[in-house]
Structure 1
Amino acid sequence: MPEVNGSSPSASEFDAVVIGSGFAGLYMLYLLRKNGFKVREFEAGSGVGGTWYWNRYPGARCDSPSVHYSYSFSPELEQEWEWTEKYPRQPEILRYLNHVADRFDLRRDIQLETRVTSATYSETTNRWLIETDKGDRVAAKYCITAVGCLSAPSKPSYKGLDSFKGQLYYTAEWPHQEVDFTGQKVGVIGTGSTGIQLIPQIARQAAHLTVFQRTPNYSLPARNRPLSPDEQAQFKATYPQIRQANRESFGGFTVDPVGKPASVFSLTEEERQQKFEQGWERGGQTMMASFTDLTASLEGNKYAADFVRSKIAEIVKDPEIARMLMPDDHPLGSKRIPIDTEYYETYNRDNISLVDIRKDPIEEFTPGGLKTKEHEYNLDAVVFATGFDALTGALRRINITGKAGLTLQQKWAAGPLTYLGLQSAGFPNLFIITGPGSPSVLTNMPVAIEQHVEWIAGCLTYLREQGIQTIEPDDEAETNWVAHVNEVASHTLYPHANSWYLGANIPGKPRIFMPYVGGLGNYRKLCDEVAANGYEGFKLF
């Protein structure tokens, strides 16, 4: 049996098994252990960090400000850690999570390099049997998945891929050693959030970079910068107020808007343009936060979308390249909006080409590169920035079997079904951290994670105190919640895009809008009310 931080496991039965050691898994382990539960945590990687362990590609960076993208459970941790930039880079976030693991002595209960392959519920013992690729068989009363919303990479299958003699790289499985593209002809497939971060970095190294784009994306400037000592001191002095505002906010962090947020229709054209310009200059999500109706009104959204397209035309010198980079098939914000550093400016370099693979699709790889329908490209390396099977992919890759032999894959065949995004009926004592049907990917993730982890820990403590053995959603409550999630989404512009929020990037995946759009603050209140009412909507036995 694999070693756990240097020693073999002494027992095969636990109160809880946690799957994953990123932001969610580390805090879940900390809180359960603090509450007296015996826990084993399994992590597929050779280190902790989750998303930030796997995604090491050049330019990898968080799009939430560092002061918000951190734990709030320990005032001591808040005071001792100093973030260096407004938007932290991957290495800094990974150092932070390793510091957390060490500071709170979490590693002794984490089994690394161990992937959970199945979790099977026994109706006889009311226990989950968890099996791993290392041969472990562990029983636990509770199984808690902290597998992440964006952790199952999408790997397109192309004819001839195995014949390619160059190097293939997947951004979500980036090598731990530095990759040097100097002097190489490089191809990047994908212009989502990852591609937008990656492309400027590779363009600075490569002899030539060819970007293969299916769908252009709106991107806003990050305006990243180092944090001054005065700013760090101010954050540390006001963390309680910052955290409380985050918990009550719609998206898990607060953004200072340009003036008072207003309807696009309440302003004159000159006022509207001035507000757009100021938001663009401030960077990040400021522009979006400065208006009240950009995600609800298609007509209002067009003003903002036109503004971003005008900025692309202003920045990119080649009019044809600028046109190719302008989104025209979805409203601004209906897909996750990347924030970038010199993404559009990169296309002014003389060593970059842009290929529209909607018009000229990739047909096959060759030993020396790849062929599209109309052209052939000689390449030394190809980077896949092709996204994830979001929200459900990592769960579906574990063979999870609940009552009466029902698998999660079977139950979710037409789309995920959950109550509050926390549990799915027919799978007692199985908890999902930031699962489909919760705000999750529409928020600043650490705040959403903390809310779920604290709710689950409180629930398990309540069950223990009351002598209750199992908890699972009532079928009606689950049905009503799924309907509510869909109904709320229907009042927004999110369903107008073929995005990964709906699973549209994965062939054959059901088109269901998966996250909850009602806002994290409102969702928190709903969850608290459910718990206060004796876990209303759940069946307790």
Structure 2
Amino acid sequence: MAQARPDFDAVVIGAGFSGMHALKSLRDRLGLKVRVYEAGETVGGTWYWNRYPGARCDSDSYIYCFTWDRQLLQDWEWSERYPEQPEILRYLEHVAKRHDLKRDMRFNTRVTGAEFDEANDLWTIHTNQDETVTARFLITAVGTLSHRNIPQVKGLDRFQGRWYHTSAFPKGGVDFTGKRVAVVGTGATAVQAIPVIAQQAKQLTVFQRTANYCVPARNGKVDPEVVAARKAEYDDIVRRIRESPFGQEHYPIPKSVFDVTPEERERIFDAMWDKGGFAFWIGNFQDMLSNPEANEICADYLRRRIRRTVKDPEVAERLIPKSHYYGTKRQPLDTNYYETFNKDNVLLVDAKTDGEIEEITERGIRAGGKEYEADIIVFATGFDAMTGPLKALNLRGRGGRKLEEAWQDGPHTYLGIAVAGFPNLFTITGPQSPSVLTNMPAAIEQHVEWVTDCIEAMRKEGRRRIEAESEAQEAWGRHVNEVISGTLFPTANSWYMGANIPGKPRTFLPYLDPAGLGGYRKRCEEIAARGYEGFALA
């Protein structure tokens, strides 16, 4: 019986870093016919949608980029250590034009569903433009933080002012001049936005549910000599970040917090604080995230820094976390975040001391029985991370089973890249992969390269179908949970654990390889070398 011929070899959902690289790799390296669908009006993904004030990357710019275009590594000049959203979007537009990617992309088009045709080993994909196409492979490049979480607060529909989620700001921005602004949330996004909004707003009221430990970004221009030195050794840099624990040039100190004297510890902490960036989080003592006593030593240093910066002792105490270990939540990098609370026009409303948000009124927000008036509300409330964007695609695998059903109690994947019961589906930086615990472009490149190699091997051997085996998937899930159970991460009510979404199963969503991103890369390479062990090929 003749097999149906697909419209495309592969359909990719999303045109951010992941989707752009997937298209480039599959089309130009393997010669496949590829179609990319993107809900936005251009490339960018995260950097198209997140236009809030102060939005910028928090990995150093020299590694927050594609490393497969070696000439562009030499030619492109970043303006700062952590470029802002418009500059990153310009970079991605430049890459798209440089490699003629847009000709195979369809913008303003959202995938509304897809089902696997077992008889023909094809995916049938539907869009909101009344288009239906078939493809041998379906590749999700939807991002880990793209399904926005808008809290279900009573009364939002009657608010007389304007409100925005940070990932849905208007293109021209918002003028906060002379306005009373309320920001709901104090996570990494809010930490970037609050200092910028405070410079414009007449009054800024920050609603905090859980305080966060912040460390300084130390953003600014990069010394031209440093830039030149990095460009001269880019081959070594690329190798290092691929082999590194977190896709960055930060490495844990290979000793315990207690192996050094208090004086030496203080010098080390001061050096990391002055350096800025993620050094204090992922370049700290090796037992910081596994030993509560070691963690307390590190957290105490940060608490002292907060108290030293915030002038009002009561406000300082409210800004100090009380409910989680340091580092078990996403690390925000700040530029004048704590200093902002010294301003006369900034008020902190803390859920634990002032009361939870009760409702949105016509004129603002009511919390703890008190109304706080606002002209504009900004929800910096994050996302239904990792699983949310994939469930929203309405995918149906073998037997018509929905991904949402398969993941009722949390994600089940093999390597974070494939799902049993969903043949020929690859999830770029999916749940149970290193993804959000790394420099994302480094994790993305590893997945795209592995998927490309896999499809190339299948084509050479005349294979039409690949699917994760249930046993391998279950073993991977056990491994992910065993590894993380040896750390302090599960103790926190973080979005890493799905705790920010009411009713979401509590489970660790990414993967923390004991040997880091480099160890995960090696593991994936070994599985491929053993004939794609844990996968069924047909």
Which bin holds the TM-score, normalised by the shorter protein?
over 0.9
- 1:478 corresponds, among 473, 476, 482, to 473
* CA apart distance, 1:87: 1.2
Q: Is 2:451 aligned against 1:456? A: yes
Decide whether the 8 Å contact of 1:197 with 1:341 is kept in 2. Answer: yes
SS in 2 for 1:446: helix
Aligned to 2:215: 220
Aligned to 2:462: 467
Decide whether the 8 Å contact of 2:245 with 2:251 is kept in 1. Answer: no
- 2:260 corresponds, among 267, 270, 277, to 267
Cα distance in structure 1, aligned partners of 2:328 and 2:292 = 10
Aligned to 2:331: 337
Cα distance in structure 2, aligned partners of 1:159 and 1:509 = 20
Q: Is 2:283 aligned against 1:286? A: no
* CA apart distance, 1:283: 1.1
Cα distance in structure 2, aligned partners of 1:81 and 1:197 = 25
Aligned to 1:115: 110
* CA apart distance, 1:256: 7.2
Once the two structures are superposed, the pairs formed by residues 40-439 of structure 1 within 5 Å of their partners are: 40-255=35-250, 261-288=254-281, 289-359=283-353, 360-439=355-434
Instruction: Give the % identical residues.
Output: 54
Q: Is 2:533 aligned against 1:539? A: no
Cα distance in structure 2, aligned partners of 1:522 and 1:365 = 48
What letter is aligned with 2:301?
F
Q: Is 2:521 aligned against 1:527? A: no
Decide whether the 8 Å contact of 1:12 with 1:137 is kept in 2. Answer: no
* CA apart distance, 1:318: 0.3
* CA apart distance, 1:179: 1.1
* CA apart distance, 1:142: 0.3
Decide whether the 8 Å contact of 2:244 with 2:251 is kept in 1. Answer: no
Cα distance in structure 1, aligned partners of 2:455 and 2:267 = 52
SS in 2 for 1:119: strand
Cα distance in structure 2, aligned partners of 1:79 and 1:16 = 31
* CA apart distance, 1:175: 0.7
Decide whether the 8 Å contact of 1:396 with 1:408 is kept in 2. Answer: yes
* CA apart distance, 1:335: 0.6
Deviations 1:168-189 (A, max 9, x none): 0110111101211000000000
Q: Is 2:484 aligned against 1:489? A: yes
Deviations 1:443-464 (A, max 9, x none): 0000000000000001001111
* CA apart distance, 1:251: 0.2
SS in 1 for 2:133: strand
Cα distance in structure 1, aligned partners of 2:311 and 2:13 = 48
SS in 2 for 1:139: strand
What letter is aligned with 1:232?
V
Deviates most, 364-373 or 14-23 = 364-373
SS in 1 for 2:307: helix
* CA apart distance, 1:281: 1.4
* CA apart distance, 1:399: 0.7
Cα distance in structure 1, aligned partners of 2:508 and 2:186 = 22
Decide whether the 8 Å contact of 2:192 with 2:337 is kept in 1. Answer: yes
SS in 2 for 1:488: helix
* CA apart distance, 1:12: 7.4
Show structure 1 runs of 5+ residues with no match. 1-10
Cα distance in structure 2, aligned partners of 1:364 and 1:496 = 29
**RMSD of aligned residue pairs (Cα, Å):** 1.2
What letter is aligned with 2:486?
H
Deviations 1:456-479 (A, max 9, x none): 001001111100110011110000
SS in 2 for 1:86: coil
What letter is aligned with 2:49?
W
SS in 2 for 1:108: helix
SS in 2 for 1:129: strand
What letter is aligned with 1:262?
K
- 1:23 corresponds, among 14, 17, 22, to 17
Runs of 4+ in structure 1 deviating by more than 6 angstroms, as ranges, are none
Deviations 1:469-494 (A, max 9, x none): 10011110000000000000011111
Cα distance in structure 2, aligned partners of 1:391 and 1:249 = 23
Cα distance in structure 1, aligned partners of 2:486 and 2:234 = 34
Cα distance in structure 2, aligned partners of 1:514 and 1:179 = 33
What letter is aligned with 2:319?
L
Task: Using structure 1 for the length normalisation, give the TM-score.
Answer: 0.96
Deviations 1:94-150 (A, max 9, x none): 111111100000000000000001010011111100000111101000000000000
What letter is aligned with 2:475?
N
Deviations 1:61-104 (A, max 9, x none): 11100011111101111111111111121111111111110000
Cα distance in structure 1, aligned partners of 2:84 and 2:172 = 17
Cα distance in structure 2, aligned partners of 1:149 and 1:77 = 26
Cα distance in structure 2, aligned partners of 1:15 and 1:395 = 21
Task: Using structure 2 for the length normalisation, give the TM-score.
Answer: 0.97
What letter is aligned with 1:362?
I
Cα distance in structure 2, aligned partners of 1:348 and 1:192 = 19
What letter is aligned with 1:336?
R
Decide whether the 8 Å contact of 1:262 with 1:290 is kept in 2. Answer: no
Decide whether the 8 Å contact of 2:218 with 2:335 is kept in 1. Answer: yes
What letter is aligned with 1:351?
N
Decide whether the 8 Å contact of 1:275 with 1:287 is kept in 2. Answer: no
Decide whether the 8 Å contact of 1:418 with 1:482 is kept in 2. Answer: yes
Decide whether the 8 Å contact of 1:364 with 1:372 is kept in 2. Answer: yes
Cα distance in structure 2, aligned partners of 1:33 and 1:394 = 25
Show structure 2 runs of 5+ residues with no match. none
Cα distance in structure 2, aligned partners of 1:341 and 1:352 = 16
Cα distance in structure 1, aligned partners of 2:217 and 2:447 = 29
Give the number of aligned pairs: 529
Cα distance in structure 1, aligned partners of 2:224 and 2:419 = 47
Cα distance in structure 2, aligned partners of 1:171 and 1:440 = 22
